[in-house]
Amino acid sequence: MKIVVVDMSAQSNVAPIIIKKKKSGGGDGHHGGAWKVAYADFVTAMMAFFMLMWLLNATTEKQRKGLADYFSPSIPLSRVSGGGNGAFQGDSMFTEDIKPQSGTGATDINPMDAQQAQGDTGIDASDKQDAEDSKFRAIEEQLSGRGGESMISIAMARHIVTRVTDEGLIIELFATDDVPLFGEGNAEPTPLFRDLVRMIARVAGTTGSNVAVGGHIRSHPVVLANNPVWELSHARADQARRLLESGGLSARRIDRVTGHADRDLAVANPMAARNNRIEIILLRD
């Protein structure tokens, strides 16, 4: 905006006096909009964090390992120069063609774990698991007779339940109300239990899997002064371990023997005979 002030009393040839006033702009509107961008970034980061926590809680160990393998780099890069120039600090983008000076990279002499699993063996982890599942399914069919040929009699089959889990093939041997597997209150096996365990020892001998044994028993009345659930469950599991070894299973393949007492019941009634059971697990490699 210009304001012109003219002095009429002065002579006509005197130049007019011009005064300029410059109006400054408005405020920055509460410091501008930069805080909105920062807040949006914070909200996005928090959403990603909670999504990550939810995914970790909703997936199994096997699924998490698969995700980790998917995102692991297929081209191992060395953190140390191999002696060349360029973006990859060497003659090639593959560190196999460059022998690092410190040995921290992946070479034929010092291979990485991921490289050993993917290149040296030639067997993918998922293919190996599928092969194990097929092996376990075949054993299940033999034990149940679904494949047309059963390794056990009908009387023995009434005491066997199998299931495949992430840990391996669980073969559960359980007692019934009329047919126990051990003597009452002790770890002395019945002839039926001896035959069952020795049959499983022959089955385990056809695989290379290690074996875990777990003992479970029913609850005892709380009025007992000395509740024997822990000692008795472990004693029965150890008795099963001895029968496996006497049936031909190598002692080196026994991975663990555990007594679970009455902490993991099979049925709702804690004192039911069905809770007296032995789990023999053919572990995954």
HSE-up of 211 (CA within 13 Å, CB side)?
31
Query: Which residues, including other chains, have CB under 8 Å from residue 205's CB and lie 6 or more apart?
Result: 248, 249
pLDDT of 68 higher than 50: yes
Say whether domain 126-283 belongs to CATH 3.40.50.970: no
Where along the chain do the CATH 3.30.1330.60 domains lie?
Answer: 126-283
Instruction: Write down the residue that tokens 């090639």 correspond to.
Output: 92
Predicted pLDDT of residue 174: 92
Give tens-digit pLDDT for 176-206: 989 999 998 899 999 999 999 998 888 888 8
> Does 68 or 177 have the greater pLDDT score?
177
pLDDT of 284 higher than 50: yes
End-to-end CA distance of the chain: 87
Predicted pLDDT of residue 131: 82
- Could you tell me the pLDDT band of residue 243, with boundaries at 50, 70 and 90? very high
> Does 70 or 10 have the greater pLDDT score?
70
Q: Which among 68, 66, 95 has a CA at the least distance from the CA of 83? A: 95
- Could you tell me the pLDDT band of residue 1, with boundaries at 50, 70 and 90? low
